[in-house]
C-alpha cells in the first residue's frame, strides 16, 4: 500500500517563526500536493509538484513556499507564520494520470497552531 507520511501530527509555533512541514511518500509517485483544511472551507490547494524541482501554485499560495529536492519528499514552508495559518495541513501524492490509483493518497495531516 502507498504510504504518505507527515512528520508531525501536532505543531505549535509562534507568530513570525519559519515553519517547515515535511511529507514523504514511498511509492515513487510523480505528483505531490499540499492542502489546508478549515471548517466551512473544505480542502484548499496551496501548492503542488509534478516532478523534482518543479512546483506550481494552487489556489491559496500566499504566505507559503515549497521545496521538492527529491522525488519522495515535498516540504511546505511558512516563511513567517501568522495566526491565520492555523489550520490542518494535508499532504497527498498520486501517479501521473493516476486514475488507476483512485486519485490521491493522503497523509494523516499536521494540525498547526500559530500563537
Query: Does residue 96 touch another protein according to CB under 8 A?
Result: yes
Stretch that binds another protein, among 17-25, 60-68, 70-78, 94-102 (CB under 8 A): 94-102
Q: Which is nearer to another protein, 38 or 79 (CB)?
A: 38
Residues 34-93 that bind another protein (CB under 8 A): 35, 40-45, 48, 50, 58, 90, 92
Contact of 26 with 74, CB cutoff 8 Å: no
Q: What is the 3-state secondary structure (H, E, C) of 29-78?
A: CCEEEEEEEECCCEEEEEEEECCCCCCEECCCCCCEEEEEEECCEEEEEE
Cell output for 109: 495531516
**Strands 87-94 and 105-106, bridge-based pairing:** antiparallel
Q: Which is nearer to another protein, 20 or 50 (CB)?
A: 50
What's the farthest any 2 CA atoms get from each other in the chain? 42
Nearest approach, Cβ of residue 25 and another protein (Å): 12
Nearest approach, Cβ of residue 74 and another protein (Å): 13
How many chain residues bind another protein (CB under 8 A)?
Answer: 28
Cell output for 26: 514511498
Residue numbers at the binding site for another protein (CB under 8 A): 4, 31, 33, 35, 40-45, 48, 50, 58, 90, 92, 94, 96-99, 102-109
Amino acid at each position: 500500500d502507498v504510504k504518505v507520511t507527515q512528520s508531525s501530527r501536532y505543531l505549535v509555533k509562534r507568530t513570525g517563526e519559519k515553519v517547515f512541514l515535511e511529507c514523504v511518500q514511498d511509492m515513487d509517485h510523480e505528483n505531490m500536493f499540499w492542502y489546508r483544511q478549515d471548517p466551512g472551507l473544505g480542502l484548499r490547494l496551496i501548492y503542488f509538484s509534478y516532478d523534482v524541482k518543479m512546483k506550481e501554485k494552487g489556489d491559496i499560495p500566499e504566505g507559503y513556499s515549497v521545496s521538492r529536492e527529491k522525488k519522495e519528499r515535498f516540504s511546505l514552508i511558512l516563511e513567517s507564520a501568522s495566526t491565520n495559518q492555523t489550520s490542518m495541513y494535508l499532504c497527498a501524492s498520486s501517479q501521473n494520470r493516476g486514475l488507476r490509483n483512485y486519485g490521491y493518497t493522503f497523509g494523516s495531516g499536521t494540525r498547526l497552531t500559530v500563537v
